[in-house]
Structure 1
């Protein structure tokens, strides 16, 4: 439709409106299915110790025996809050 004439405008507008309706429907479907990812909240060793009211050696033993999973970032050790809450719910 590169060479449009005045007589072709109504048909061209119809096509444009149809395409816009299709795009709008697709966006609506995407919006309904969209589930944003919540960022993972990390806890420091100090926060975990205070949360469970345990000592650092106990936290170390729990990590060593696989009760809690630790994640290292450089020299720091973190625990996922969601995993800690899952352990409490068990």
Structure 2
């Protein structure tokens, strides 16, 4: 099948079609990127128990309590339980080599 050459009169409408197709394709790519980023992130709980926090940091309870007392990490209480925020723990971790 041989495509006809566009005439001068049909050129503006063909260019509009190309622009519309480019916009649709750009939107599809953007949607795909957003979907990929959301699906590739590991799911992580925001509120951690003492045990989960110790496991995350690779320390024992006494070290975690000392860091809490020294103000290195913050804890939150609910009744008699103690919790830590994942985001705050991760903010405290800094690179040692610049």
Normalising by the residue count of structure 1, what TM-score does the alignment of the two structures yield?
Answer: 0.53
Higher helix share: 1
Runs ≥4 residues deviating over 3 A? none
Query: Hey, what's the Cα distance between the residues in 1 that align with 2:65 and 2:88?
Result: 16
Taking only aligned residues, the RMSD between alpha carbons, in angstroms, comes to 1.5
In structure 2, the partner of 1:56 is 61
5+ residue gaps, structure 1, are 1-39
5+ residue gaps, structure 2, are 1-44
Query: Hey, what's the Cα distance between the residues in 1 that align with 2:88 and 2:94?
Result: 10
How many positions carry a matched residue from both structures?
Answer: 51
Normalising by the residue count of structure 2, what TM-score does the alignment of the two structures yield?
Answer: 0.49
Q: Mapping of 1:1-80 within 5 angstroms?
A: 41-80=46-85
Query: Hey, what's the Cα distance between the residues in 2 that align with 1:70 and 1:51?
Result: 15
Higher relative contact order (CA 8 A, sep 6+): 1
In structure 2, the partner of 1:81 is 86
